[in-house]
């Protein structure tokens, strides 16, 4: 499912965040990524979601060459991933149920599906009775479980959790671990970034260790054992050439503009159309980095936010 093939990331001549990183993750696998602060774990996650590009090397996700994804296709790619950030990023102005539902709204889901999926996810993380509480009213463990539920809203193929038990007591930590284990048993590939030796040792599963930007160990079983990682095999997906051809054909098709965005400010709409961003769903999934790359001004961003807010209000 996931292959980092001799990936190096340099920020300048003196700072090398990753150096010749090689590992692969199989579909359905549960794995841990461990290592001290500054080991390169966060940089690796940024490369995976394509917030940044590698200096050299390849990253493949389920036959997709991640660094070569056209900007306009990034939202569709990111929908394949569920990311639980270390600071959780729950919206403070929305209650727990609204946080989960909002993730579905921006994907353009129907009201019935939003309601059913939100209910299912609240049950999955055992927070049905906390649905109307705001993030500041939830305990740390509850917030973390809520963040996991929201990350699962788009039914991702891979769930990446960054330090999901970092600030939790042992009981809450193992509650979160149980949820992640159940998610994996249901078929979702799970990768956990963690410093928590206890939960790593409890799982007795694969542990990839990084230090100073390098993978120094790839071991199954426990946190402390060091086992030299396998040498790179450089086997790349067979369908890459076919997919590149399909992308070229797709780019030649006449771009059809979503009726829902035709009333958008002309200057903003033109920038989106030039970048082949032609649907409301693509716009919903743009990050701040994407907007910066599209040269959306601060004033245009305010207009865009007002447009999106107005649409979501009317669609409720």
CB burial of 204-231 (b: ≥16 within 10 Å; e: otherwise) equals: ebbbbbbeebbbebbbeeebeeeeebee
Distance set, CA 204 to CA 78, 110, 184, 231, 285 (Å):
29, 40, 14, 23, 36
Concatenated DSSP letters of 97-153? HHHHHHHHHTTT--HHHHHHHHHHHHHHTT-GGGTT--GGGS-HHHHHHHHHHHHTT
The first and second tokens of residue 32, run together, are 């841990």
Q: Which residue has the tokens 């709204």?
A: 105
Give me the pLDDT at residue 76, please.
83
| Tens digits of residue pLDDT in 262-311 | 888 888 888 888 877 888 777 876 777 677 778 888 888 888 888 877 77
Q: What is the pTM of this model?
A: 0.70
Domains annotated for the chain, with CATH where assigned, are 2-80+156-220 (3.40.50.300), 255-315 (no CATH)
Would you give per-residue pLDDT tens digits along the chain (316 residues)? Answer: 999 999 999 988 788 999 999 999 999 999 999 988 889 998 999 999 999 999 999 999 988 899 988 887 888 888 899 998 877 788 999 999 999 998 888 878 889 999 999 999 999 999 999 999 999 999 888 998 999 999 998 889 999 998 888 778 888 888 888 899 999 998 999 999 988 888 888 888 999 999 999 999 999 888 888 888 876 665 555 544 444 444 434 444 456 788 888 888 888 888 888 877 888 777 876 777 677 778 888 888 888 888 877 776 665 5
Measured between alpha carbons, how far is 14 from 163 in angstroms, rounded to an integer? 28
Do 40 and 213 form a contact (C-beta atoms < 8 A)?
Answer: yes
The whole-number pLDDT of residue 299 equals: 87
Contacts of residues 169-174 at CB distance under 8 Å and 24 or more positions apart, as own/partner, are 169/141, 170/198, 172/139, 172/140, 172/141, 172/144, 173/141, 173/198, 173/199, 174/199, 174/202
Say what the pLDDT of residue 242 is.
Answer: 47
């Amino acid at each position: 499912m996931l292959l980092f093939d001799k990936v190096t990331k340099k920020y300048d001549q003196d700072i090398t965040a990753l150096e010749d990183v090689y590992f692969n993750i199989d579909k359905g696998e549960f794995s841990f990524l461990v290592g001290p602060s500054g080991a390169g774990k966060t940089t690796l996650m940024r490369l995976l979601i394509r917030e940044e590009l590698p200096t050299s090397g390849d990253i493949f996700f389920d036959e997709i060459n991640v660094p070569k994804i056209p900007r306009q296709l990034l939202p569709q790619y990111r929908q394949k991933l569920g990311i639980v950030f270390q600071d959780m990023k729950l919206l403070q102005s929305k209650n727990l149920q609204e946080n989960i539902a909002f993730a579905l709204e921006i994907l353009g889901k129907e009201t019935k599906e939003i309601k059913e999926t939100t209910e299912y996810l609240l049950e999955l993380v055992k927070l049905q009775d906390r649905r109307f509480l705001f993030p500041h009213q939830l305990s740390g463990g509850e917030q973390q479980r809520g963040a996991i539920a929201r990350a699962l809203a788009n039914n991702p193929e891979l769930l990446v959790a960054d330090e999901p038990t970092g600030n939790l007591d042992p009981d809450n930590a193992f509650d979160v671990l149980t949820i992640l284990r159940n998610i994996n048993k249901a078929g979702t590939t799970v990768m956990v970034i963690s410093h928590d030796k206890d939960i790593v040792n409890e799982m007795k599963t694969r542990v990839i260790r990084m230090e100073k930007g390098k993978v120094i160990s790839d071991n199954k079983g426990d946190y402390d054992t060091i086992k030299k990682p396998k040498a790179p095999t450089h086997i790349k997906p067979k369908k890459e050439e076919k997919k590149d051809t399909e992308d070229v054909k797709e780019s030649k098709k006449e771009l059809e503009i979503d009726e829902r965005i035709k009333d958008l400010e002309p200057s903003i709409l033109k920038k989106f159309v030039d970048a082949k961003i032609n649907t409301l769903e693509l716009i919903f999934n743009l990050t701040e980095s994407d907007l910066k790359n599209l040269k959306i001004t601060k004033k245009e961003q305010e207009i865009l936010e007002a447009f999106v807010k107005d649409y979501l209000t009317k669609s409720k």
